[in-house]
Amino acid sequence: MDKKIVFITGVSRGIGLEIAKCFSNDGFFVIGTSRSEFNLHDALSSDQCLHIPLDVTNRDQVSSCLSKLKEQNIIPNVLINNAGITKDQLFLKMKDEDWDDVIESNLTSVFNMTKLFIKSMIKERAGSIINISSVAGLMGNPGQVNYSASKAGLGGFTRALAKEVASRNITVNCIAPGFIATDMTNHFQGEDLDNVLDQIPSKKMGNPQQIADLALFLASSKGDYITGQTISVDGGLYMS
């Protein structure tokens, strides 16, 4: 496949939007999704892109998305599973729906989206799948049993699938961000923010560009001998 086409879930803001900009600047055609309507053309200042309103937990919407892409002959060779949510609560108070929503949005969605494109990647004998995990999946965060479990699950998903498809020239990796300045973390203010920064050896939050740069590297030929890995971008917060 000569055309570089990337499919990114959750492009309407934060890390997903920055990944979309980074791949667009590198010459990729960008297919981006979010539940909300979003003007990706304006955000990327490019017509080499397509936004599809899509809930990654809704299997009907996911499969109809593939039909749309087939009609336009734009099947991606890079998939970035970025969409994710938090519903934080101490375990004793965690409601069943807080568990279900987070596991469906962060883990089952990755199964849904990967199933959609893996066959064409195998046929083309080329592809890269990048799952945006979290340091919470490696170290565990109190108040985030659901989120930590969903992100730890992504690590197992990634390693198992990487072994299944490596011989077909497909890489599967996770990026595990630490504290990155986006809407997801902007509730940390004042003393709470100081407490967070205190735990990070580099004493600063990361930015979405740092995640996007690594995603682009992993999707490029420079990264094609890296597979099954979870790579942290966290200012030293978690060291194994």
Ligand X SMILES: NC(=O)c1ccc[n+]([C@@H]2O[C@H](COP(=O)([O-])OP(=O)(O)OC[C@H]3O[C@@H](n4cnc5c(N)ncnc54)[C@H](OP(=O)(O)O)[C@@H]3O)[C@@H](O)[C@H]2O)c1
The residues annotated with a catalytic role in the active site are: 147
20 binds ligand X (CB under 6 A): no
33 binds ligand X (CB under 6 A): yes
Beta bridge partners of 132: 175
223 binds ligand X (CB under 6 A): no
Q: Which stretch binds ligand X (CB under 6 A): 31-39, 89-97, 165-173, 195-203?
A: 31-39
The single residue among 108, 169, 185, 229 that binds ligand X, judged by CB under 6 A, is: 185
CA distance 26 to 47: 14
36 binds ligand X (CB under 6 A): yes
The single residue among 105, 114, 128, 232 that binds ligand X, judged by CB under 6 A, is: 105
Four-residue CA torsion sign, 146, 229, 31, 13: positive
134 binds ligand X (CB under 6 A): yes
Collapse the DSSP code of 222 into the 3-class scheme (helix H, G, I; strand E, B; otherwise coil) and give the result: helix
What tokens appear for 164 in the block?
């299944």
- Contact at 8 Å (CB) between 62 and 116? yes
Q: Which of 147, 129, 127 is nearest to 137 (CA)?
A: 147
The single residue among 74, 103, 122, 184 that binds ligand X, judged by CB under 6 A, is: 184
The single residue among 10, 76, 153, 223 that binds ligand X, judged by CB under 6 A, is: 10
CA distance 164 to 168: 9
The single residue among 24, 34, 128, 148 that binds ligand X, judged by CB under 6 A, is: 34
Q: Quote the strand ranges of 104-220, DSSP E.
A: 127-132, 170-177
Nearer to ligand X, 103 or 166 (CB): 103
CA distance 228 to 171: 7
- Contact at 8 Å (CB) between 234 and 41? no
The single residue among 52, 56, 113, 174 that binds ligand X, judged by CB under 6 A, is: 56
CB of 26 to ligand X, least distance (A): 20
196 binds ligand X (CB under 6 A): no
- Contact at 8 Å (CB) between 152 and 146? no
Instruction: Give the number of residues in contact with ligand X, rule: CB under 6 A.
Output: 30
Residues binding ligand X (CB under 6 A): 9-16, 33-36, 54-57, 82-85, 105, 132, 134, 177, 179-180, 182-185
